[in-house]
């Protein structure tokens, strides 16, 4: 869609699409974190059975696959040649950090309000658990993207 709007010379459409994409970018990684329902002991999915494992496991794998595909497509769209490889880690980090923000129950509507966004940013940045999850997910995403590039 973005490529089509640029070809038509409609740059404002491209900017709207880019803004929407930036807001939605980490959602696939957040979907990857659905596996937390199978791991967390204080979760409603305490009694594991095949259906619950299949549903949450499939959602997690789907989120991971979608995020890897999104990063690969974005790198292709940017058309940076050899420098495209340099964007893998920053894009993976942004996706991971955004997903960690989602784990703090930050919604899109709240994220548009600067005081709430800064509160959640501090919460993630100051938590060693969130940062470890973010960095681990960044490494996983970057490795998978580089594997399929």
Residue 114 is assigned to a structural domain of this protein: yes
Mean pLDDT by 10 residues, the chain (149 residues): 55 68 79 77 65 85 93 84 86 92 83 84 94 95 94
Q: Residues 6 or more apart from 59 whose CB is under 8 A from it?
A: 31, 34
DSSP string of 86-137? Answer: GGHHHHHHHHHHHHHHHHTT--HHHHTSHHHHHHHHHHHHT-HHHHHHHHHH
Residue 33 is assigned to a structural domain of this protein: yes
Closest CA to 145 of 61, 59, 77, 71: 71
Q: What pLDDT does 44 receive? A: 57
Provide the residue range defining the domain that includes 62. Answer: 26-148
Residue 119 is assigned to a structural domain of this protein: yes
Q: Total domain count for the chain?
A: 1
Q: What pLDDT does 142 receive? A: 96
Q: What pLDDT does 138 receive? A: 95
Residue 18 is assigned to a structural domain of this protein: no
Residue pair 146/88 in contact by the 8 Å Cβ criterion: yes
Q: What pLDDT does 106 receive? A: 83
pTM recorded for the entire structure: 0.80
Distances (CA, A) of 30 to 8, 15, 39, 40: 34, 24, 15, 15
């Amino acid at each position: 869609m973005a490529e089509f709007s640029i070809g038509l010379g409609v740059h404002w459409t491209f900017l709207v699409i880019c803004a929407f994409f930036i807001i939605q970018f980490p959602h696939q990684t957040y979907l990857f974190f659905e596996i937390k329902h199978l791991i967390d002991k204080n979760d409603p999915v305490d009694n594991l059975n095949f259906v619950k494992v299949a549903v949450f496991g499939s959602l997690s794998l789907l989120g991971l696959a979608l995020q890897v595909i999104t990063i690969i497509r974005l790198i292709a769209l940017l058309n940076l040649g050899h420098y495209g490889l340099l964007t893998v880690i920053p894009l993976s980090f942004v996706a991971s950090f955004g997903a960690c923000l989602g784990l703090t129950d930050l919604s899109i509507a709240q994220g548009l309000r600067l005081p709430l966004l800064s509160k959640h940013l501090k919460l993630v940045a100051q938590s060693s658990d969130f940062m470890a999850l973010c960095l681990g997910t960044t490494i996983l995403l970057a490795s998978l993207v580089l594997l399929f590039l």
